[in-house]
Protein backbone atom coordinates (compact mmCIF):
# COMPACT_ATOMS: atom_id res chain seq x y z
CA UNK A 1 0.00 0.00 0.00
CA UNK A 2 1.29 3.46 -0.92
CA UNK A 3 1.85 5.87 1.94
CA UNK A 4 0.22 9.28 1.89
CA UNK A 5 2.65 11.80 0.44
CA UNK A 6 4.70 9.12 -1.30
CA UNK A 7 6.23 9.84 -4.71
CA UNK A 8 6.53 6.12 -5.46
CA UNK A 9 4.12 6.08 -8.42
CA UNK A 10 5.07 9.49 -9.83
CA UNK A 11 7.65 10.29 -12.48
CA UNK A 12 9.80 13.40 -12.26
CA UNK A 13 13.29 14.37 -13.38
CA UNK A 14 14.13 17.20 -11.02
CA UNK A 15 13.60 18.56 -7.54
CA UNK A 16 14.22 21.97 -5.99
CA UNK A 17 15.57 22.16 -2.44
CA UNK A 18 17.03 24.74 -0.09
CA UNK A 19 19.50 22.17 1.23
CA UNK A 20 20.13 18.43 1.06
CA UNK A 21 22.47 15.86 2.56
CA UNK A 22 25.00 13.81 0.63
CA UNK A 23 23.08 10.54 1.00
CA UNK A 24 19.83 11.96 -0.34
CA UNK A 25 21.61 13.76 -3.20
CA UNK A 26 23.48 10.61 -4.14
CA UNK A 27 20.28 8.54 -4.21
CA UNK A 28 18.48 11.11 -6.36
CA UNK A 29 21.40 11.43 -8.76
CA UNK A 30 21.56 7.63 -9.08
CA UNK A 31 17.97 7.79 -10.32
CA UNK A 32 18.95 10.51 -12.86
CA UNK A 33 16.97 13.14 -10.90
CA UNK A 34 18.49 16.62 -11.06
CA UNK A 35 18.61 18.55 -7.79
CA UNK A 36 18.43 22.33 -7.94
CA UNK A 37 19.11 24.68 -5.04
CA UNK A 38 16.84 27.62 -4.29
CA UNK A 39 18.44 30.35 -2.21
CA UNK A 40 16.75 33.61 -1.30
CA UNK A 41 13.30 32.69 -2.58
CA UNK A 42 10.47 32.35 -0.09
CA UNK A 43 7.39 31.97 -2.28
CA UNK A 44 6.75 28.90 -4.43
CA UNK A 45 5.85 31.08 -7.43
CA UNK A 46 9.21 32.88 -7.14
CA UNK A 47 11.08 29.56 -7.01
CA UNK A 48 9.21 28.26 -10.08
CA UNK A 49 9.86 31.50 -11.99
CA UNK A 50 13.57 31.39 -11.08
CA UNK A 51 13.77 27.80 -12.33
CA UNK A 52 11.97 28.66 -15.58
CA UNK A 53 14.45 31.51 -16.16
CA UNK A 54 17.40 29.17 -15.54
CA UNK A 55 18.51 30.95 -12.37
CA UNK A 56 18.72 27.89 -10.11
CA UNK A 57 22.00 25.96 -10.11
CA UNK A 58 22.10 22.20 -10.19
CA UNK A 59 23.60 20.88 -6.96
CA UNK A 60 26.65 18.67 -6.75
CA UNK A 61 28.36 16.94 -3.84
CA UNK A 62 30.40 20.08 -3.14
CA UNK A 63 27.25 21.96 -2.08
CA UNK A 64 25.53 19.45 0.22
CA UNK A 65 24.70 20.01 3.88
CA UNK A 66 27.14 18.30 6.19
CA UNK A 67 25.15 18.78 9.38
CA UNK A 68 21.67 18.27 10.79
CA UNK A 69 19.29 21.18 11.21
CA UNK A 70 17.27 21.78 14.33
CA UNK A 71 13.96 23.42 13.60
CA UNK A 72 11.85 25.09 16.22
CA UNK A 73 8.11 25.11 15.82
CA UNK A 74 6.85 28.67 15.35
CA UNK A 75 3.87 29.54 17.51
* pLDDT tens, N- to C-terminus, the chain (75 residues): 555 666 677 888 899 998 888 899 999 999 899 999 988 877 999 999 999 999 998 998 877 766 555 555 554
Q: Is 5 inside any structural domain? A: no
> How many domains would you assign to the chain?
1
Q: Is 68 inside any structural domain? A: no
Q: Is 27 inside any structural domain? A: yes
Structural domain containing residue 19? 14-63
At residue 62, the pLDDT reads: 79
Strands (E), the chain: 14-17, 34-37, 57-58
Q: Is 47 inside any structural domain? A: yes
For the CA atoms of 67, 68, 72, 73, the dihedral, rounded to the nearest 10 degrees, stands at 140
Per the DSSP assignment, residues forming a β-bridge with 23 are none
At residue 40, the pLDDT reads: 81
Q: Is 3 inside any structural domain? A: no
Amino acid sequence: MEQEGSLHNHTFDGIIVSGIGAGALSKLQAQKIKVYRSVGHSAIKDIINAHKRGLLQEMGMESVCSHHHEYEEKK
